Homo-oligomer: A and B are copies of this chain.
Amino acid sequence: MRSPADLTEAFRAHGLKVTPQRQLLFRLMHGNECHPTAESLFQTASEQMPGISLRTVYQTLNDLATMGELRSLDLGTGAVRFDPNIDDHHHVVCDRCSDVRDVYVSGSDALSIQGLDGFAVSNTSILFNGLCPRCAADSE
């Protein structure tokens, strides 16, 4: 996802308005590595802008995802997560605390795949599940 300044410019260039709500979300998402949900962003945003609505958070994040500025991820944790990192990468999720981290995988072209007959595959995602270091330590 581009910087708040770049996004501001891009929005205006596309005839979209640059509202305080959007700017706040630009800032909160830029460089954010937490893979937050709309709800958790709403919590954070509410601290800096009491009165902002959850609906606007959803709306803005979806707009940014449609524009390709961020990715929305369904990692099976209940709520969709939003990711400003649009590099080709994958994820690992802690089954206990739902923490998410980026995983980079290379060499996948060497995989031997059977069963895709005729499918026009547009996306491949690899999801790792397990326990994060903290939760693994706690459960000993």
Contacts and interface: CB of A to CB of B under 8 A. Distances in A.
Interface of A: 74, 76, 89, 92, 94-95, 101-108, 110-133, 136
A102 B118 CA distance: 13
B122 A131 contact: yes
A46 to B, nearest CB: 28
Q: How many copies does the complex hold?
A: 2
Contacts of A120: 130-131, 136
B119 A101 contact: yes
Contact of A118 (B105, B107, B124, B133): B133
Contact of A104 (B114, B122, B126): B114
Given A74-B74, A126-B125, A132 B118 contact: yes
A139 to B, nearest CB: 9
Nearest to A103: B115
Contact of A107 (B89, B92, B110): B110
Contacts of A107: 110-112
